């Protein structure tokens, strides 16, 4: 079939739904690929680059829509674009069906199959098509870049001949995809990063990235995100007050605040109030990633950068992905081609709208003259909600004691058996081996036992290539070899020297690898 990418008409939108690299994958699926002339200009992809990748360039939107079977774009379609489409054509783009009821009805009237990239179910199998996550990743990264551009100091702390520069303190509110991307970018720049999320289970993930989790002393725990598409559920008024109290404590200390709290289709919760802004230091920066839905900050102005009376910069841009147009287009183009890959199971260029597939059904908002949104719950959710198996019956105290006694007796028999076998073997070896060998052999056995106990009792979290069982064995080999180097036999001396050399490589290699591992966790 023919796949066509339209040029985005929204002001400031630099993304394109198909890139030259993603077009190559679509052609492998058996499709012909078209783009509207100038569609990739904002992202740095010329018409010539598309033509070099085997993509046909249509002169305008009308010609492209009339010629293709599947229309792909980034932003929700305009009414004129939908009206130009014919029954049976497929549209793949953002759609926001909750906010765009009129567009949804128009798609139904036109008989267009509308697949909304913003409605892809948040299940493991659909991660490769999750455009919301891929764009949030870019937004979180870009938010840190914008903050650094508007901040008057270094992010990293420095000690120079001219004086000491403290590290910037950055607070990330919300540890979803955008928040985690912001944490990664800020820590890589050397900032002292703090992060808050209503879901305490993300604390380990935050701390593993080098940030400090801001704990809230409150009994309520956030609900599971499954009911809200993987997002944190709205909190109670009491939890919100405790949250705001914590933010008021942090506001005077923070240099940069990046807020990411937003559930698609809902107004953004107000988390950074006007009094918190007034408590911040002059030169501080707030980047509000929820500006498109009203903002998490009381003073945010969508699509604008403002400076408050006390000198705090508040950035409310709504086009963060477009500010990295080439990268955003590549990721979104991959999301689109993965969706088309699922729609083309035979890889023969034939689109199959399988409404029994959870991902396809969940993303389809209009099909065959009907509105198919909202979709039924995914089957995986129904499986997860199935009645759990009954727990096995708890044993009585008498049964538990009988089982423990039987286990102890069996363990004792095994240990006694091993000791008897070991004793017999030692006795048999002592009858035929010289006394000098037995002395060395006993030392060897004791060394192995002591090394095993020492290494095995070290916590696994402390294990490194230096602190490893193989190095303990190598140390034993070196000691044994050194004792044999003074032997009168040339063959024994050669073998002992080779043993020292090879075991030494293992030990010194452990030192080098350990040093490299430790350097990875040190801030420059």
Give the active site residues.
122, 127, 130, 133, 231
Q: Could you give the CA distance from residue 72 to residue 163 in angstroms, rounded to a whole number?
A: 55
Give the strand pairing for 113-116 and 364-367: antiparallel
* Of 504, 502, 512, nearest in space to 464 by CA: 512
Answer yes or no: are the C-beta atoms of 332 and 129 closer than 8 Å. Answer: no
* Token pair in block for residue 43: 């992202």
32 strand-pairing partners: 2
Please identify which residue in the block is written with the tokens 């089982």: 403
Residue 246 per-residue DSSP state: H
Per DSSP, helices labelled H in 14-60 are 20-28, 47-52
Q: Could you give the CA distance from residue 505 to residue 440 in angstroms, rounded to a whole number?
A: 25
Answer yes or no: are the C-beta atoms of 382 and 128 closer than 8 Å. Answer: no
- Please list, in sequence order, all residues whose beta carbon lies within 8 angstroms of the beta carbon of residue 375, skipping any fewer than 6 positions away: 119, 361, 362, 364
Phi/psi for 93 (5° steps) reads: -170, 175
* Token pair in block for residue 203: 């604390």
Widest pairwise Cα distance in the chain: 99
**Helix, strand, coil percentages, rounded to 5, for the chain:** 50, 10, 40
Per DSSP, helices labelled H in 366-489 are 379-384, 397-432, 435-456, 469-485
**Is the four-CA dihedral 105, 6, 358, 97 of positive or negative sign?**
negative
Answer yes or no: are the C-beta atoms of 197 and 232 closer than 8 Å. Answer: yes
Angle among Cα 355, 357, 362 to the nearest 5 degrees reads: 75
* Of 96, 185, 201, nearest in space to 146 by CA: 185
Question: How many Å is the Cα radius of gyration of the chain?
Answer: 32
CA atoms within 13 A on the CB side of 318: 17
Burial class (CB in 10 A: 0-12, 13-18, 19+), 350: middle
């Amino acid at each position: 079939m023919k796949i066509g990418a339209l040029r985005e008409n929204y002001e400031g939108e630099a993304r394109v739904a198909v890139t030259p690299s993603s077009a190559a994958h679509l052609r492998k699926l058996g499709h012909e690929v078209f783009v509207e002339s100038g569609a990739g200009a904002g992202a740095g992809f010329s018409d010539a680059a598309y033509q070099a990748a085997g993509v046909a360039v249509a002169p305008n939107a009308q010609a492209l829509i009339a010629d293709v079977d599947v229309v792909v774009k980034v932003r929700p379609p305009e009414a004129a674009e939908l009206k130009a489409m014919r029954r049976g054509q497929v549209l793949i783009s953002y759609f926001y069906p909750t906010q765009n009821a009129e567009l949804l009805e128009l798609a139904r009237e036109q008989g267009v199959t509308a697949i909304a990239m913003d409605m892809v179910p948040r299940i493991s199998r659909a991660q490769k098509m999750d455009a919301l996550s891929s764009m949030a990743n870019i937004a979180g990264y870009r938010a840190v870049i914008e903050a650094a551009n508007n901040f008057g100091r270094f992010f990293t702390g420095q000690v120079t001949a001219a004086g000491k520069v403290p590290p910037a303190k950055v607070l990330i509110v919300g540890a979803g995809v955008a928040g985690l991307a912001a944490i990664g970018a800020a820590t890589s720049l050397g900032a002292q990063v703090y992060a808050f999320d209503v879901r305490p289970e993300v604390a380990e993930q935050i701390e593993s990235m080098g940030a400090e989790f801001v704990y809230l002393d409150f009994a309520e725990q956030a609900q599971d995100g499954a009911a809200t598409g993987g997002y944190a559920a709205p909190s109670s008024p009491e939890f919100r007050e405790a949250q705001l109290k914590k933010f008021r404590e942090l506001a005077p200390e923070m240099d940069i605040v990046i807020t990411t709290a937003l559930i698609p289709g809902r107004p953004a919760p107000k988390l950074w109030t006007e009094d918190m802004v007034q408590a911040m230091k002059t030169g501080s920066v707030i980047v509000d990633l929820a500006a498109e839905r009203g903002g998490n900050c009381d003073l945010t102005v969508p699509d604008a950068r403002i400076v408050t009376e006390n000198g705090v910069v508040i950035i409310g841009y709504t086009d963060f992905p477009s500010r990295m147009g080439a990268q955003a287009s590549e990721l979104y183009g991959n999301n689109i081609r993965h969706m088309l890959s699922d729609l083309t199971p035979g890889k023969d260029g034939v689109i199959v709208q399988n409404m029994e597939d959870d991902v396809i059904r969940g993303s389809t908002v209009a099909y065959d003259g009907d509105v198919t949104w909202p979709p039924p719950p995914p089957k995986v959710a129904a499986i997860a909600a199935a009645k759990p198996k009954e727990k096995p019956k708890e044993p009585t105290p008498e049964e538990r004691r009988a089982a423990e006694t039987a286990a102890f007796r069996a363990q004792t028999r095994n240990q006694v058996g091993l000791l008897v076998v070991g004793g017999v073997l030692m006795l048999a070896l002592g009858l035929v081996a010289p006394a000098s060998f037995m002395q060395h052999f006993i030392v060897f056995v004791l060394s192995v036992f002591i090394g095993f106990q020492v290494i095995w009792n070290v916590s696994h979290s402390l294990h490194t290539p230096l602190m490893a069982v193989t190095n303990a064995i190598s140390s034993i080999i070196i000691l044994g070899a050194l004792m044999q180097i003074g032997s009168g036999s040339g063959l024994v001396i050669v073998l002992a020297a080779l043993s020292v050399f090879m075991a030494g490589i293992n030990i010194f290699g452990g030192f080098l690898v350990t040093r490299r591992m430790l350097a990875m966790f040190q801030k420059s």
